[in-house]
Amino acid sequence: MAGIWIFAEKREQALELLNIGRRLAAKTGTAVSALLPGNPDAARDYIAHGADEVLLLPPLAADQSCEAYLPVIVEEAKTADPDVFLCAATPRGKELAARIAARLETGLCSSCIALNYDEGGKNLEMERIAYGGAAIQKVTCLTRPVMATIPPRTFEPVTAEAGREGHIRKLPAPPPSRVRVLERKVRTRETRDITEAKVVIAVGRGFEKPEDLALARQLADALGGEIGCTRPISEENHWLPQELCIGLSGIQIKPDLYLGLGVSGQIQHVTGIRNAKVIAAVNKDENAPIFGVADFGIVGDLYDAAPKLLQELKRGS
Ligand X SMILES: Cc1cc2nc3c(=O)[nH]c(=O)nc-3n(C[C@H](O)[C@H](O)[C@H](O)COP(=O)(O)OP(=O)(O)OC[C@H]3O[C@@H](n4cnc5c(N)ncnc54)[C@H](O)[C@@H]3O)c2cc1C
Positions in the binding site for ligand X (CB under 6 A): 132, 204-206, 230-233, 245-250, 262-264, 266, 268-269, 282-285, 288, 301-303
Closest distance of CB 13 from ligand X, Å: 21
Nearer to ligand X, 35 or 298 (CB): 298
Residue nearest to ligand X (CB): 247
Closest distance of CB 317 from ligand X, Å: 25
Nearer to ligand X, 96 or 279 (CB): 279
Closest distance of CB 276 from ligand X, Å: 14
Nearer to ligand X, 31 or 202 (CB): 202
Closest distance of CB 243 from ligand X, Å: 12
Nearer to ligand X, 223 or 281 (CB): 281
Closest distance of CB 270 from ligand X, Å: 8
Backbone phi, then psi, for 17, in 5-degree steps?
-70, -35
Closest distance of CB 210 from ligand X, Å: 13
Closest distance of CB 31 from ligand X, Å: 38
Nearer to ligand X, 102 or 134 (CB): 134
Nearer to ligand X, 149 or 264 (CB): 264
Nearer to ligand X, 256 or 285 (CB): 285
Give the count of beta carbons closer than 10 Å to the beta carbon of residue 161.
Answer: 11
What gap in Å lies between CA 186 and CA 117, rounded to an integer?
A: 40
